[in-house]
Amino acid sequence: MKVAVVGATGMVGNVLLQVLREQNFPITELIPVASEKSVGKQIEYDGSSFSVVNLETAVSMKPDVAIFSAGGETSLLWAPKFAAVGTTVIDNSSAWRMDPTKKLIIPEINGHLLTPEDKIIANPNCSTVQLLLALAPLHKAYKIKRVVVSTYQSITGTGVKAVEQMENERNGIQGEMAYAYPIDKNCIPHCDSFEENGYTKEEMKLTNETKKILDEKIHVTATAVRVPVVGGHSEAVNVEFENDFDLADVRKILHNTEGITLKDDPTTNSYPMAKYAEGKDDVFVGRIRRDESQANTLNMWIVADNLRKGAATNAVQIGKLLIEKGLLAVTV
């Protein structure tokens, strides 16, 4: 199978290559794709060396699947060109997520919707993936009415420049700023650009993507905050259900959900933290407790490595599901 990784030299691209190797994705030919300045660089993968090519060359090579992690503008322009030569595109950007003609997929939740006609498949926003993996089984059991979520998002979600900014600040070095303000020893309530309604794009992604993937009737309000953390995104989540619940049953449901690790024991100070989610594929859930201010309402704390399940791992899982469903032919 020919596999193109678009944005192979970036932060998510590097993790994508790592996850593809870990998951034994059946690659016969890797096509690393990046900007013109990176063309010709060598990418090591599974004991072999592959040359970075530009997008035009990659399209001409007609890969079986192309996993995009190179920004929305690149995806809007180039994903249709790959699809036109028969390539199945799995896109990590926000470009296609709310397009009514494109599927927005978390394999554990709605992977069954994929068909042979889906040549451009959208990967949800990283903070949406971890939120919905925990909410989906609870929605099935108790029917969610409303979600209030506050995110504490890793600087890795912004990219290499943000990590460099924090490291520079910690070492007293003046350097390029990824943010309008210092990030070290600070929290910035501003993820992505502001919309006319006063919410940021990141906050509206949580609202709109939840409705598209889970249920149009669910009301979601979000506040997204950038924090000086590298390991992953954390979310404080308040969920109001139509039906009452038993806390023991909630824990049992989450414990039995694929892709979730329950870490919820206050007696031993056991709860999810970004530091310990880093490098792991699971979504971690804890601090489960009843909201005592109103009926049928639950509080949770959800943490995941945003570069893995929030991006690379989810994309690779989509690819593996396509193979399992016979929607991607494996060349023998």
pLDDT for 332 beyond 80: no
Give the C-alpha separation, 44 to 21, whole Å: 11
- In SS3 terms, 204-257 reads as HHHHHHHHHHCCCCCEEEEEEEECCCCCCEEEEEEEEECCCCCHHHHHHHHHCC
Name the band, by pLDDT with cuts 50, 70 and 90, for residue 256: very high
As a whole number, mean pLDDT of residues 286-308 equals 98
Task: For 36-69, write each residue's pLDDT tens digit.
Answer: 999 999 999 999 999 999 999 999 999 999 999 9
Task: For 165-193, write each residue's pLDDT tens digit.
Answer: 999 999 999 999 999 999 999 999 999 99
pTM of the model: 0.96
Task: For 120-171, write each residue's pLDDT tens digit.
Answer: 999 999 999 999 999 999 999 999 999 999 999 999 999 999 999 999 999 9
pLDDT of 58:
98
Give the C-alpha separation, 67 to 90, whole Å: 5
Name the band, by pLDDT with cuts 50, 70 and 90, for residue 13: very high
> Closest Cα to residue 232, out of 143, 313, 172, 167?
313
**Percent helix / strand / coil, the chain, rounded to 5:** 35, 25, 40
Name the band, by pLDDT with cuts 50, 70 and 90, for residue 331: low
Task: For 271-282, write each residue's pLDDT tens digit.
Answer: 999 999 999 999
- Token output for 159: 């990219």
pLDDT of 329:
67
Residue type, 286: G
142 in Cβ contact with 242 (< 8 Å): yes
The mean of the pLDDT values for the chain is: 96
Q: What are phi and psi of 108, to 5 degrees?
A: -70, -20
Domains recognised in the chain with CATH numbers: 2-124+311-324 (3.40.50.720), 127-306 (3.30.360.10)
Give the C-alpha separation, 261 to 284, whole Å: 5
Task: For 98-122, write each residue's pLDDT tens digit.
Answer: 999 999 999 999 999 999 999 999 9
Q: Strand pairing partners for 90?
A: 67, 121
Q: To the nearest whole percent, how much of the chain has pLDDT over 90? A: 98
Residue 126, SS3 per DSSP: helix
The CA distances from residue 23 to 18, 27, 124, 214, in Å, are 9, 11, 20, 27
The catalytic residue positions are 126, 233
Question: How many residues does the structure list for the chain?
Answer: 332
> Closest Cα to residue 147, out of 160, 158, 134?
134
Name the band, by pLDDT with cuts 50, 70 and 90, for residue 330: low
Count other C-beta atoms under 10 Å from residue 328's C-beta: 19
pLDDT of 328:
84
Q: To the nearest whole percent, how much of the chain has pLDDT over 70? A: 99
Count other C-beta atoms under 10 Å from residue 176's C-beta: 8
Give the C-alpha separation, 291 to 145, whole Å: 14
61 in Cβ contact with 2 (< 8 Å): yes
Give the C-alpha separation, 282 to 21, whole Å: 17
